[in-house]
A and B are shown apart, each in its own frame.
Chain A
């Protein structure tokens, strides 16, 4: 290892990053765009769901039920008289659900008999449909209790569950998504960007000139790792700053642990990018491989949006090979819960194993040869 050669390679790479706007875009602009998109645009919470309530014949009981739905923050209620209209609206996509209050409802409810309601849900969005079912039942039972109270009765409920949500009491999906985004950003910088820049050297023939000089394989690899490591950490700090300042995502763990774990993840991602570029020597193929093998798994299998443990067993197994899965777990813990060593240590160990694996394979696969 010759420090002057290494310094020359790092200087060269840094100049190229500064001159090439696409690296800057991937490293510093894309994180901001993704954060804004997910912070403002994407929400997994169901709010203001369009609901039609059909009251076939107006009664005081019916109106108070409609009012109960309208009071809920989850629904935006349209009151209708005929179920036909509501069904058409659901077919056309104007309503996500319909609650039908039949003519006999008030009478039956007043007598304390079974008073059936009909609830129709649009199942094309299964997630929202499931949430609505819960919300409708909630509104319904609250209303029943209220009505009973009005008449001086109590509805006998044997057990009352008092849910309390830990870590994210308001259940804001944003607080879960923003930490996960850091993993996505670092995968993009670490794997995609590195794979592309090395492939570009092969494409332009500069790698051929480089490997005919006295540089060693370790110098070539470190010359790529160091600048993109700095860039990746910068992107991470930017994301954390934006997430906590703009979206008020809490950071309950310590910043230093966050930095250390991110560094560990980034080394693995960079090594994977370098490995991809030893296989694919043109930018198009390298980009495709990086997206399929790093970015998509980080998106789909990391628990960033979809929980791997609820996936089929073989996909769950597959997700264990994805570094982002461990990183997302650590990130969500650090942001929402704090320095929980029982979570951080085993997941960091997994990250270290993956990083070591990619580093060793890359070192062994990189030769100063063309064949």
Chain B
């Protein structure tokens, strides 16, 4: 069958950066094609080229037979496009948004009513017609954006990172909707940085730094790595096992997953025996089926150079409960952002706060750090109430905020110097610490560049360096790995693990469910309330049912959220 879109030898540069480098591919009708890659891989550029919004520097793009440079009108009549921020008018209601796009796409007025009813039903937005788009939740906005893109049944549907900021429940519904569309013959392009989503596509285009690494069925790529994935279970100290695995040349990747450690072996390397990795007598190494992320990391293995260890600040003295929230509540006007949350974190523990955007994770963090006074309850960190304590008490904690909080127009070195000064590091100690931060985070090459111009991964590295350079006892990381590629994510977690091993308590928020598996314990926050608290494996067990005998953390999350919704409804 004739492909819907043909991309031939396409290149695109923005200034000095190459966004796409000689990419060729074809997008078929009736299938979901995944554009998979990390931040900065070139996904958005490719989607925009397909939409005729950018002109390629070399090569050409044709959509439904229309050239993307000379015949954009034909393309715009044939596609549905949802940009990263959905393209909704937040000050218009749901129905007004639909009706605007219906008129713009030339839907006959007599068809409006029927089409709107069908799309509202399809996206689960019936009953919300008159609500302003800006007042919808992230997931509902996403579905409305999709409905607007579908209004005149396009031949090709382009979705740019449609699942960012959407909770797992909505994400599943979105996937169901998109697969339904593909069955009717629509070609769908779905760009994503989440590797688990690649497995749900009929075929993927795997991009890395503007180059196309793989084009085809994701299962075929994953299949190439069959027999190389293993899991180590039954040991006492999972972090020690992971560290041991990391150190081995024959292990391509090692990851903590709940109570186990997942290993991907280098090509043709036999798996290690349990005794090579741990002293625990009951430990076992078992083969498991590979997944797409294993393939992705193994493909990019050459980039996965050894990660230098963080400097040791010496064993942290704290013990027992270090951070405690008791009935913690925060209201903004009528809106309850955080509703009576309770939890405690012990010294040396990694605690994850998990939940969709807007669930109250960052607000909880800000209260624990003393940046925001609670409306009720108590937030104690290191035994003190930071809302009232002297600023010196903050010396014991490190905080990395979700937004890039460094000075964009200062260089990397100036930023490090500034934060060293703020934390009161002086003399030789200051020089040593800065030098070690530069070495550990690989910042030498860009030491005199302005922080604002760094690639995202390096911005995050610099932000982490700034948050830990004074050797805090307690570390708050608010979405530290949001947007960075899986390799940088692994690097971050190796540092986090190393610090936890020295007794630092780490609190981390994330909406990556995979990442939650790396934590000792997690709390799931939903609509301001803590709906589950415990070790990742315990939470999975809690969600086990006849239909789901072996739930993943995402399954568990979805089940818990649905249960919370049912409880609220009843």
Binding site for B on A (CB under 8 A): 2, 4-5, 7-9, 11-12, 15-16, 19-20, 204-206, 208-215, 368-371
Contact = CB atoms under 8 A, between A and B. Distances in A.
A15 B96 contact: yes
A205 B83 contact: yes
B54 interface: yes
Indicate the member of B54, B55, B76, B132 with the most A CB atoms within 10 Å.
Answer: B76
B89 interface: yes
Contacts of A368: 52-53, 72, 76
A8 B89 contact: no
16 contacts: A5-B104, A11-B100, A208-B83, A208-B87, A209-B83, A209-B86, A209-B87, A209-B88, A210-B87, A211-B53, A213-B105, A214-B76, A369-B52, A369-B53, A369-B55, A369-B72
Interface residues of B, number: 36
Interface in B62-104: 72-73, 76-77, 79, 81-92, 96, 99-101, 103-104
Contacts of A205: 83-87
A209 B148 CA distance: 10
Nearest to A215: B104
Chain B CB count within 10 A is highest, among A11, A20, A371, for: A371
B236 to A, nearest CB: 50
Given A209-B81, A214-B105, A368-B72, A12 B53 contact: no
Contact of A15 (B81, B82, B92, B149): B92
B82 A8 contact: no
A371 B55 contact: yes
Main secondary structure of the interface of A (DSSP, over half): helix
B103 A212 contact: no
B50 to A, nearest CB: 10
A208 B53 contact: yes
Given A212-B53, A370-B48, A8 B73 contact: no
A5 B84 CA distance: 24
Contacts of B55: 369, 371
A197 to B, nearest CB: 11
A60 B76 CA distance: 93
Given A12-B96, A15-B91, A213 B104 contact: yes
Nearest to A219: B104
B91 A370 contact: no
A215 B54 CA distance: 17
B376 to A, nearest CB: 33
B84 to A, nearest CB: 7
Contact of B92 (A12, A208, A370): A12
B91 A20 contact: yes
Nearest to B87: A209
Interface in B28-76: 48, 51-55, 72-73, 76
A8 B104 contact: yes
Contacts of B109: 4
State the 9 A-B residue pairs at the shortest beta-carbon distance, nearest first: A209-B87, A8-B103, A205-B85, A212-B81, A19-B91, A208-B83, A213-B104, A370-B53, A214-B76
Contacts of B100: 8-9, 11-12
B143 to A, nearest CB: 15
Contacts of A215: 104
